């Protein structure tokens, strides 16, 4: 079912925002042709390009309004008017088109910054890699040159309605303060509210404030703000409910913890053969088999927990790693790393194809490191300690940026610790 709509003025922008949102695990599609009877209903996110950046303002208005008419639905949670990261194009008319077609007194919330690409907005002025927008390449674009760095001025061109700006000095005061500003501006009849941002943290504050305000809105941005809105909405509504568990530890306490998981959640279990991950002739086939099996579990709505593990549920099933390593003429450390990297490769393929994913639980430091490497993440932003030696956080960068993760040592906790960690990821314990 379509739940999120992106209307971009060019195909590159539509594709870029889809790629960002794909990191949440949602199913995304970027359409070049929009026909009412051929809209793919199995996609969570639909992006459409109107190819309207360089045409006359009135033509852009009607193009965007028609796309909005075709896509609007009571099931849509977020409408995004995707704008260029350097503020080129028919910004004002296209925002008007979405607002007027929806016709339900929404406020347009504009957050034009894209900090990860060097686009920031400070005191209403956009800078690109430290240079004023008008002095950047965007100011010299032969097709659609930008003649100012002032965001309000650029968005106000041919815009019909009341516009107001919120600067960094207010955003820095926190969510509650920004929430009150949004409510106040809505009461005043403001139609378009423009926000400064120089960091992703600023965007997060704005996101929480918009949702806390209760104001009906559309997002206006090049991608990061809309991504934050979608993440927060899914978190709050617990629509991201599946947890991937990757467990390779064979300690007695890990086995006890897994028994508690099995008893409490009846997870979909993917048993991975540790020997096959070590043996070169079997490794590739075992990884492919496990990936295929785990993906089937992800698609099955009956299961909220997908458990990928080399850990036997009975003590007598443990692999004697030292003995097996000697037979294969490798060290115990090399064998252990082959198991960790194999589990990480399996987990990566499942994660990047997953939908409605609350997060990943990993037992074992080596597996956590291997998974971060597979996902090209530079590390974990630690949010809190769940129990001693078990940390909750979000991945930084890579293919699953901002993914919730809990990493726990194999010998950590009592029999309920793993279950407690899973409950934390599922949102049973609120942030």
Asked if residue 281 and residue 232 are part of one domain, the reply reads: no
Which pLDDT belongs to residue 423?
A: 84
Residues in the chain: 431
Asked if residue 180 and residue 261 are part of one domain, the reply reads: no
Cβ pair 266, 300 in contact under 8 A: no
CATH code, domain carrying 282:
3.40.980.20
Asked if residue 300 and residue 159 are part of one domain, the reply reads: no
Asked if residue 406 and residue 360 are part of one domain, the reply reads: yes
Q: Domain total for the chain?
A: 2
Asked if residue 261 and residue 298 are part of one domain, the reply reads: yes
Asked if residue 173 and residue 312 are part of one domain, the reply reads: no
Asked if residue 266 and residue 404 are part of one domain, the reply reads: yes
Asked if residue 212 and residue 71 are part of one domain, the reply reads: yes
Asked if residue 301 and residue 220 are part of one domain, the reply reads: no
Q: DSSP class of residue 399? A: T
Cβ pair 146, 86 in contact under 8 A: yes
Angle formed at CA 407 by CA 413 and CA 368, multiple of 5 degrees: 135
Is 431 inside any structural domain?
no
pLDDT string in tens for the chain (431-residue length): 678 999 999 999 999 999 888 877 788 888 887 877 678 877 889 999 999 998 999 999 999 999 999 999 988 999 999 999 999 999 999 999 999 999 989 999 999 999 999 999 999 999 999 999 999 988 887 777 799 999 999 999 999 999 999 999 999 999 999 999 999 999 999 999 999 999 999 999 999 999 999 999 999 999 999 999 998 887 776 556 689 999 988 788 888 999 999 998 899 999 999 999 999 999 999 999 999 999 988 888 788 899 999 988 766 567 777 888 888 888 988 988 999 999 999 999 999 887 667 889 999 888 999 999 999 999 898 888 888 888 899 899 888 888 889 998 888 888 899 998 988 887 643 34
CA 358 to chain centre: 11
CATH code, domain carrying 31:
3.40.50.10840
Which pLDDT belongs to residue 36?
A: 72
Is 402 inside any structural domain?
yes
Q: How far apart are CA 94 and CA 98, in angstroms?
A: 7
Token pair, residue 94, equals 């296209």
Is 20 inside any structural domain?
yes
The range of the structural domain enclosing residue 250 comes to 242-426
Which pLDDT belongs to residue 173?
A: 96
The domain boundary residue, chosen from 217, 237, 257: 237
Phi and psi (nearest 5°) for 408?
Answer: -135, 140
Which residues have C-beta within 8 Å of that of residue 94, sequence separation ≥ 6? 7, 9, 50, 52, 60, 61, 64, 81, 83
The domain boundary residue, chosen from 200, 220, 237: 237
Which pLDDT belongs to residue 431?
A: 41
Asked if residue 169 and residue 51 are part of one domain, the reply reads: yes
Phi and psi (nearest 5°) for 145?
Answer: -65, 140
Which pLDDT belongs to residue 428?
A: 44
């Amino acid at each position: 079912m379509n739940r999120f709509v992106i209307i971009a003025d060019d195909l590159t922008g539509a594709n870029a925002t889809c790629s960002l949102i794909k990191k949440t695990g949602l199913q995304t599609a970027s359409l070049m042709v929009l026909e009412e009877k051929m809209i793919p209903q199995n996609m969570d996110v639909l992006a459409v390009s109107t190819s309207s950046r360089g045409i006359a303002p009135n033509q852009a208005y009607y193009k965007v309004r028609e796309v909005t008419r075709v896509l609007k639905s009571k099931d849509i949670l977020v409408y995004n008017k995707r704008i260029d990261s350097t503020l080129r194009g028919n910004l004002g008319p296209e925002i008007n088109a979405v607002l007027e077609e929806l016709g339900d007194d929404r406020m347009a919330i504009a957050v034009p910054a894209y900090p990860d690409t060097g686009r920031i907005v400070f005191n209403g002025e956009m800078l690109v890699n430290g240079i004023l927008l008008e002095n950047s390449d965007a100011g010299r674009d032969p097709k659609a040159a930008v003649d100012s760095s002032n965001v309000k001025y650029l968005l106000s061109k041919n815009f019909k309605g009341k516009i107001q700006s919120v600067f960094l000095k207010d955003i820095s005061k926190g969510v509650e303060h920004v929430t009150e500003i949004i409510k106040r501006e809505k009461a005043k009849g403001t139609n378009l509210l423009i926000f400064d941002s120089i960091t992703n943290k600023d965007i997060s504050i704005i996101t929480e404030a918009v949702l806390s305000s209760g104001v009906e809105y559309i997002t206006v941005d090049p991608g990061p703000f809309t991504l934050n809105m979608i993440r927060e909405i899914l978190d709050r509504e617990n629509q991201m409910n599946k947890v991937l568990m990757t467990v390779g530890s064979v300690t007695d306490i890990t086995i006890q913890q897994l028994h508690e998981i099995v008893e409490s959640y009846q997870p979909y279990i993917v048993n991975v053969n540790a020997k096959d991950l070590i043996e070169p002739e079997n490794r590739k086939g075992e990884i492919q088999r496990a990936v295929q099996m785990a993906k089937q579990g992800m698609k099955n709505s009956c299961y909220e927990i997908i458990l990928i593990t080399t850990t036997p549920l009975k003590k007598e099933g443990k692999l004697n790693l030292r003995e097996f390593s000697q037979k294969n003429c490798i060290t115990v450390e090399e064998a252990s790393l082959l198991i960790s990297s194999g589990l990480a490769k399996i987990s990566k393929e499942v994660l990047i194809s997953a939908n409605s994913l609350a997060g990943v639980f990993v037992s074992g430091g080596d597996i956590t490191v291997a998974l971060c490497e597979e996902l090209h993440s530079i590390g974990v932003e630690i949010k809190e300690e769940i129990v001693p030696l078990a940390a909750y956080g979000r991945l930084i960068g890579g293919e699953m940026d901002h993914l919730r993760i809990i990493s726990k040592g194999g010998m950590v906790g009592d029999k309920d610790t793993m279950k407690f960690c899973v409950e934390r990821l599922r949102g049973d314990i609120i942030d």
